[in-house]
Structure 1
Amino acid sequence: MNLFQYDFMIRALIAALVIGLTAPALGIYLVQRRMSLIGDGVGHVALTGVGVGLLLDQSPILTAMLVAAAGAVTIELIRERGRTSGDLALALLFYGGIAGGVMLVGLSANRSNANLMAYLFGSLTTTSPADLVVIVVLAVTLLAAMLLLRPALFAISHDEEYAKVSGLPVRTLNLLLAVTTAMTVTIAMRTVGLLLISAMMVVPVATAQQVTRGFRSTMALAMGVGVLAAGCGVWLAGQANTAPGATIVVLAIAAFLAVALGAALRRALRRRSVPVAHHPAPELEPPDVVLER
């Protein structure tokens, strides 16, 4: 039976593909800044926003976006001013965000555990036409910002001090990354869930880094891996009757393991093919900027 004959499965597929394309486009900057876990922290803060929305009988998506944006901006300002370490600030987001969210959900009139689980781990097949419109519009806006501002965003991610000397608005760009991280977490809330979205930001990038060296090529391949994992994840979840969000993330991790193993085997075979008595001259770095690993 073709599952995509149903409208809700088509909406689920489109939403997943959009997130699979958008999340790695932002995640590559977070990986380069060594802030791979900020998505988890912002996701926990967004849960507090969900609790606020349920408590006030307002749209949980809107309140989650506002609270997540405030949390992301706060962590960026703390990191910039150096008042505490980034790890400590992320820990505060982790624990305070999820504790506040659970407490507020408990205080709200709607205490359904099913609703809370849908926000935490996603509920892709319940995506409504209105939800899909919001996801697509926000994702297109975010993707356009990540691509159009790529040189400037790469500069602050690679060397913030050099970017300041070059005259770039470093604080504005850092805050832009913080807000777009909150946007990504929020729009992915209905697809892969608050606790899993960070994986879609990071794992496709880590996979692409195994076989590419330049920033542009890594971004392109990471976005491709994200789309492939999202599309195959929705199909497999429909066939196996599993949670779509978790299935997407598991496939993304499986792709990373397969590519990492293949890259390791290729390096091993290349070393064995080089004669012991002869050592070739070291290869020059390619003209494109090399990503940090």
Structure 2
Amino acid sequence: MLSTVQELFAYPFIQRAVIVGILVSLCAALLGVSLVLKRYSMIGDGLSHVGFGALALAMAMNLAPLEVAIPIVVAAAFLLLRISESSKIKGDAAIALISTSALAIGVIVIAMTTGMTTDVCNYMFGSILSMSKNDVRLSIIISVLVIIMYLLFYNKIFAITFDESFAQATGINTRRYNSLIAFLTAVTIVLGMRMMGALLISSLIVFPALTSMRLIKSFKGVVISSTVISVTCFVIGILMSYVCATPTGASIVSVNLLLFITFSLISKIRFKQKG
């Protein structure tokens, strides 16, 4: 086992992928707890589809993918908030409306320019080989900023997660902090798409939080547990991908799924014992 790990980390692209992957996993786990509790976890899936459309435009114009995708996905996240707050189109309907539209635009742009190449498959399903050195540097800087901002505003995020109306009554600008969560989520989605793919990136947001909630009930406990679970599943998934020659994103999701099932079974056993 140790020799396999040493062999794996001998490759520079694996080293870059692990560093970025751990940071993105941390960001996704931190934000995922609030998104799941606010019943807005599908925003990750919606924004990843927007990200695919943005990456398709970047490919068509021969521009740097992350520099194009980040502002577009952030704008889409804010648009989702505004639509949900100020119109009759709520939550999941707004996400479906924007995500499917962006995905359709992305497919049309690709069909009219580069065609369905290997790069497109990498964006859809993820690839650790698709990350350039510039992507890695930018991902590290932005991931660290996301983690710092989350920690700085942890108390406010906690307040609007559990009781937004009460938080607003106490003077907290709930719209501002909802926008902050949307912004951090959008950035995290874009950073993780290169590795996990547009179709699988939302799993990094949903699975760790849901898995932790099977056994842990406090907000702080769930946040800490989610980060540990997310990073652990990522590292095991990378090893599984290397040993079994399976796609990286799918391997990471499979490990998350197995851990979720395990935690669910343990939770049921505990419940029966207490009963």
What range is the shorter-chain TM-score in? Answer: over 0.9
CA deviations on 1:53-108 (whole Å, 9 max, x unpaired) are: 12222112221112111111101011111431212111102311111111112222
Counterpart pick for 2:192 among 188, 192, 195? 188
Whether the aligned pair in 2 keeps the contact of 1:164 and 1:170 (CA below 8 Å) is: yes
Which residue number in structure 1 is paired with residue 204 of structure 2? 200
Does residue 262 of the first structure (1) align with residue 266 of the second (2)?
Answer: yes
Counterpart pick for 1:50 among 55, 70, 75? 55
Which residue number in structure 1 is paired with residue 73 of structure 2? 68
Counterpart pick for 1:135 among 136, 139, 148? 139
AA matched with 1:23: A
Which residue number in structure 2 is paired with residue 83 of structure 1? 88
Which residue number in structure 2 is paired with residue 211 of structure 1? 215
CA deviations on 1:31-74 (whole Å, 9 max, x unpaired) are: 11100111000111111111221222211222111211111110
Which residue number in structure 1 is paired with residue 153 of structure 2? 149
Counterpart pick for 2:125 among 121, 124, 144? 121
Which residue number in structure 2 is paired with residue 29 of structure 1? 34
Whether the aligned pair in 2 keeps the contact of 1:51 and 1:104 (CA below 8 Å) is: yes
Q: Provide the rounded CA distance (Å) in 2 between the counterparts of 1:163 and 1:202.
A: 24
Q: Provide the rounded CA distance (Å) in 2 between the counterparts of 1:231 and 1:165.
A: 43
Counterpart pick for 2:170 among 159, 163, 166? 166
Whether the aligned pair in 2 keeps the contact of 1:12 and 1:234 (CA below 8 Å) is: no
Which residue number in structure 2 is paired with residue 228 of structure 1? 232
Whether the aligned pair in 2 keeps the contact of 1:23 and 1:184 (CA below 8 Å) is: yes
Q: Provide the rounded CA distance (Å) in 2 between the counterparts of 1:56 and 1:127.
A: 18
AA matched with 1:79: S
Whether the aligned pair in 1 keeps the contact of 2:66 and 2:135 (CA below 8 Å) is: no
Q: Provide the rounded CA distance (Å) in 2 between the counterparts of 1:195 and 1:143.
A: 24
Larger Rg: 1
Q: Provide the rounded CA distance (Å) in 1 between the counterparts of 2:69 and 2:110.
A: 13
Number of residues of Structure 1 aligned to a counterpart in Structure 2: 270
CA deviations on 1:124-150 (whole Å, 9 max, x unpaired) are: 134333222111111111111112211
Q: Identity of aligned pairs, percent? A: 29
CA deviations on 1:160-204 (whole Å, 9 max, x unpaired) are: 211111111211111111111110110001111121111110100
Give 3-state SS (helix, strand or coil) of 2:115's partner: coil
Give 3-state SS (helix, strand or coil) of 1:5's partner: coil
Q: Which structure is higher in helix share?
A: 2
Unaligned runs of 5+ in 1: 272-293
CA deviations on 1:219-246 (whole Å, 9 max, x unpaired) are: 0000000000001111110111111111
Whether the aligned pair in 2 keeps the contact of 1:20 and 1:229 (CA below 8 Å) is: no
Name the TM-score, length of structure 2 as normaliser: 0.94
Unaligned runs of 5+ in 2: none
Counterpart pick for 1:4 among 6, 9, 12? 9
Using the TM superposition, give the Cα deviation of residue 112 of structure 1 relative to its aligned residue in structure 2, in angstroms: 4.5
Give 3-state SS (helix, strand or coil) of 2:216's partner: coil
Q: Provide the rounded CA distance (Å) in 1 between the counterparts of 2:137 and 2:237.
A: 21
Using the TM superposition, give the Cα deviation of residue 267 of structure 1 relative to its aligned residue in structure 2, in angstroms: 1.5
AA matched with 2:112: L
CA deviations on 1:107-127 (whole Å, 9 max, x unpaired) are: 22x334211111111111343
AA matched with 2:134: A
4+ runs deviating over 4 angstroms: none
Q: Provide the rounded CA distance (Å) in 1 between the counterparts of 2:186 and 2:111.
A: 24
Q: Provide the rounded CA distance (Å) in 1 between the counterparts of 2:171 and 2:273.
A: 46
Name the TM-score, length of structure 1 as normaliser: 0.88
